[in-house]
């Protein structure tokens, strides 16, 4: 599990990061002095715990927590602040813990341990993706059937990008290695995207796909994916990898090589 700390006071931020690292409960702990930096990190990483200062400029901790919960419902939130009057607001957005500054090691440990011990067994994911070997998607144990093979490949490509935004042109270049992105193929991409959206809607998992300003991305926090678990150091996922990753798609060879070489 990964953890983040967000506080605009450097000394407190450094202390919080050091304490969480010292607890030995997390695979990685990152510190950020602004909410936007934290959100940028979460676009590429699954975060299990966020320790947030409440009173910060530009984006306060309460606003940041609401955004985090919208994007990643399974992320636990612990607030850290010098002002007790924020407690009511903190718990109104379902915070998992609340501590007053200055940070006391034993109290922080108790809060963190409580959060870990009481994490909901339901991770918040709504689909399962298997990428080791062939690619397949499952919903409630049922294999998702795609009406178009290219729609399935498009979803696989988006999952491979781990939540990063992909333009239609970039997706086309992956799906048709030597193709020309002319008007006809632009229309074809529209058909592929529409078919993908229809399939996800049919299985009631439309939320895993996000399309904004002409770019697409999947929401990693909603997908139980063996590759994501591998990158997070999950022991079972690491053991299940046999050196083959999405072997139906040529573009997957880059990630496959990285996984084999432990470049991540």
Residue 258 confidence (pLDDT) = 93
113 and 131, same domain (yes or no): no
Burial zone of 69 (CB within 10 Å; 0-12 exposed, 13-18 middle, 19+ buried): middle
Beta bridge partners of 139: 142
Residue 30 lies in a domain: yes
Instruction: Give the helix, strand, coil percentages of the chain, each rounded to 5.
Output: 45, 20, 35
Question: For the CA atoms of the chain, what is the radius of gyration?
Answer: 20
Q: In the chain, what is the greatest distance between 2 CA atoms, to the nearest angstrom?
A: 64
Identify whether residues 10 and 90 lie together within a single domain. Answer: yes
Instruction: Give the separation between CA 49 and CA 113, rounded to whole angstroms.
Output: 11
Residues 134 and 237 occupy one common structural domain? yes
Q: Which residues of the chain fall short of a pLDDT of 50? A: 88, 91, 121, 263-264
What does the pLDDT read at residue 70?
A: 80
110 and 152 together in one domain: no
pLDDT at 82: 73
User: In 63-221, at which residue ranges do the beta strands (DSSP E only) sit?
Assistant: 76-81, 97-100, 127-130, 136-139, 142-143, 166-167, 209-212, 215-218
- The pTM is what? 0.56
Describe the strand order of the beta sheet including 49-53 as a list of residue ranges. 28-32, 2-6, 49-53, 76-81, 97-100
- pLDDT at residue 263, rounded to an integer: 46
Determine the pLDDT at residue 15: 96
| Boundary (domain end) residue, out of 117, 152, 184 | 117
Residue 122 lies in a domain: no
Note the pLDDT of residue 88: 45
State how many domains the chain has. Answer: 2
Q: 230: domain range?
A: 127-261
For residue 25, give the CATH number of its domain. 3.40.50.2300
End-to-end, the C-alpha distance of the chain in Å comes to 16
Residue 49 maps to a domain? yes
Looking at the structure, do residues 86 and 56 belong to the same domain, yes or no? yes
Q: Cα torsion for 58, 63, 68, 74, to the nearest 10°? A: 150
Q: Do residues 160 and 84 share a domain?
A: no
CA distance 10 to 25: 23
| C-alpha to C-alpha distance for 77 and 229, rounded to whole angstroms | 21
pLDDT at 33: 94
- Say which residues have a Cβ less than 8 Å from residue 46's Cβ, sequence separation at least 6: 2, 72, 220, 221, 228, 232
Task: Say what the pLDDT of residue 123 is.
Answer: 56
- 142 with 254, same domain? yes
Could you give the 3-state DSSP secondary structure of residue 44?
A: coil
CATH number at residue 231: 1.10.10.10
- Examine the domain organization and report whether 186 and 85 are in the same domain: no
């Amino acid at each position: 599990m990964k953890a983040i700390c967000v506080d605009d006071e450097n000394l407190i931020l450094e202390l919080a990061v050091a304490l969480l690292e010292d607890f030995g409960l997390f695979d990685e702990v990152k510190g950020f002095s602004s909410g936007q930096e934290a959100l940028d990190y979460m676009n590429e990483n699954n975060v299990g715990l966020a320790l947030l200062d409440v009173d910060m400029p530009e984006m306060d901790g309460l606003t940041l927590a609401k955004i985090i919960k919208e994007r990643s419902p399974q992320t636990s939130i612990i607030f850290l602040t010098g002002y007790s009057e924020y407690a009511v607001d903190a718990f109104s957005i379902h915070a998992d813990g609340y501590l007053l500054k200055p940070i006391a090691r034993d109290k922080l440990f108790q809060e963190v341990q409580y959060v870990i011990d009481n994490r909901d067994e339901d991770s918040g994911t709504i689909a399962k993706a298997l990428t080791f070997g062939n690619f397949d998607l499952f919903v409630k144990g049922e294999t998702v059937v795609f009406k178009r093979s290219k729609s399935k490949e498009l979803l696989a490509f988006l999952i491979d990008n781990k939540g990063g935004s992909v333009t239609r042109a970039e997706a086309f270049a992956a799906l048709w290695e030597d193709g020309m992105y002319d008007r006809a193929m632009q229309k074809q991409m529209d058909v592929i995207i529409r078919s993908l959206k229809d399939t996800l809607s049919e299985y009631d998992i439309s939320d895993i796909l996000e399309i904004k300003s002409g770019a697409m991305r999947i929401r990693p926090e909603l997908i139980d994916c063996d590759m994501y678990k591998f990158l997070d150091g999950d022991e079972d996922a690491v053991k299940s990898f046999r050196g083959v990753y999405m072997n139906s798609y040529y573009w997957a060879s880059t990630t496959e090589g990285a996984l084999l070489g432990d470049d991540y």
